[in-house]
Structure 1
Amino acid sequence: MRKKYYNMVEDMKKIRVFCRIRPVNRNEAAQGGVIVVDKIDEFSVTIDTPRGQREFQFDKVFSAEASQEDLFHDTNLIQSAIDGYNVCIFAYGQTGSGKTFTMVGDKEQKNPGLMPRSFNAIFDIIRENSSKFDFKVSAYMLELYNDRLQDLFVSPAGEAHAQPQSHGQARRVEIKRNRKGVVFAQGAETKEASSAQELYALFQQACANRHISATMNVESSRSHLIVGIRVESKNLTNGSVSTGKLSLVDLAGSERAAKTGAKDHQLKEANSINKSLSALGDVISALSAELPHVPYRNSKLYATRVKAITNNAQRNVESKEIAQLKEVIMKLKSGQSVEDVDV
């Protein structure tokens, strides 16, 4: 019953937009910087602008004093993913606004972000339900750099940048949709993890290959990081299999080229980032206004995922018989013998 009502509540919310206010850092404070965003209540903020004060509403507002744990508590969709739903969380904002800190945390992991906390939560739930279900966790990790998808498990971002025309050994990753309308990354390397530590190690490997560059920020992310975690669970009582996916996205920061000091390839990066973020904003705006045409194809930035969230949420569940047939097909493809009992 707890799972049922939890997912009902999450389904009703569909798309939720949170606002997190970042505190002034040391450099900003030394230069006399002050916070111009004020939290009015749980859902509203005011911003001081040259044209006066403006007010904005959100589904939730976190003050500068809010902790990483506070944020994770209100954005926790792990249970829905394990129950067979596809869910997505992404951080959107300007360069230096705190997106990577919110999603990843600090380097020492004294204040882990949503991603490492999600890794721990997945395996905490798995341990709690190990007597009733068999679980398998796998992940792929990609970056969208200059409108091109890079597999962070296969091709180091540095090599891809040094040889932008080299496609010889690297597998091409493309965004596809299956017959059920589920979006997936065709050609992406997928790796299994049996613990939160293994999953975090894979994540660190991916982050080490990600594009960063000094613009407005010392280590500004120059690409969009997409972490896809697939959780498959088999009910030991009736044999049904459910598959859910948790997509965690750390978007690159939007910025004005004149303020960044970016030149040459960095300027190209900035233009590509801003174009993709603008396309994503257009998709969300069209969906919110229920317009007849939604510009999904204007960018590769997984905009189709937003459509899946606004539709009626459906669990990805297979019966025991279908699961068995798929297992037989996999055995046949790998050249294994199949006994009658398998069928």
Structure 2
Amino acid sequence: MNTSKYLKGLAYGISYGLAARAIFALETSESALLPTYGLMTLSFMFLVPLAIGLLTAYHLDSITSASKILIITMPIFSILGLILITVLTGSEGLICAIMAIPIFAVMSLIGGFIGVNAFKRRKNDKTLVSLALLLPFLIAPIENLLGLQEKIFTETTSITIQSDEQEIWQQITRVNRISEDENNLTLFQFMGFPRPIEAELDTVAVGGIRKAIFARGLFFTETVTEVIPHKVLAFTIQADPNSIPPTALDQHVLVGGKYFDVMEGKYEIENIGKDQVKLILTSKFRLSTPFNFYSGLWSKFIMNDIQVNILKIIKERSEKI
């Protein structure tokens, strides 16, 4: 493979990705010269990496049987370069970057595969490349007419604890300050989500206000909706996006924002034997994206990770008594 063409292909792919991201991020209104309606669109998430794959393949050497697979995979390096630059410059948070990598990689590979096979038959087919580069911007206004699709998800996690119902009840109604040593290093924290600190409840009754406090100034106001002493504690969850510090969460996963919101939480205590209890934590959350089929997988995975961390802390505290 010609090294200069290899580097040229990567440079063109990364440059196009950065330019497309800038346009999708800035020109989001209907009155804009080139309306694209933001980064959380099918046009950006799926068609831009497809175009990057085609563009990268266009600038590579002619195909040989030995190098075909390698050349098809070259667009991934353009994707990784694009994401690395956006994260290092602060244009994108680590949370969204990690969530975008799988779909960006797959779509760029598809673009590379199409490009390799198309350019083998029609060398230097500029028409195909030009169409691919323009396609995200042509589709975005059409996509916007369909609007966002709202979907409600639930995630349930449980843990077995060697303790009694009364002790666990005390642990879930009021969560005392969680020390660094107690906190488990989990994926959601690695991705940039603030770690839990404590939870305060003014009264254990319907209508009681529970304040869940996280690191970096993030907190949720929870209103109790159901209480069965030593059995059930349920509450609605409300977050004010305007009160969340900009350093707490990436704008695309902002709780209470346009695309994501956590709505309800529920603890259930089930006695399964002598001094053995199952603690169940269920959350309900909303997604409003054009690709809930994909963002839903990530959201459920992250919510499960958050809930497992909380349940482990409660287990460790309850079993120490």
Per the shorter chain, which TM-score range?
under 0.3
Structure in which a larger fraction of residues adopt helix = 2
Question: If you compute each CA radius of gyration, which structure gives the higher value, 1 or 2?
Answer: 2
TM-score by length of 1: 0.25
TM-score by length of 2: 0.26
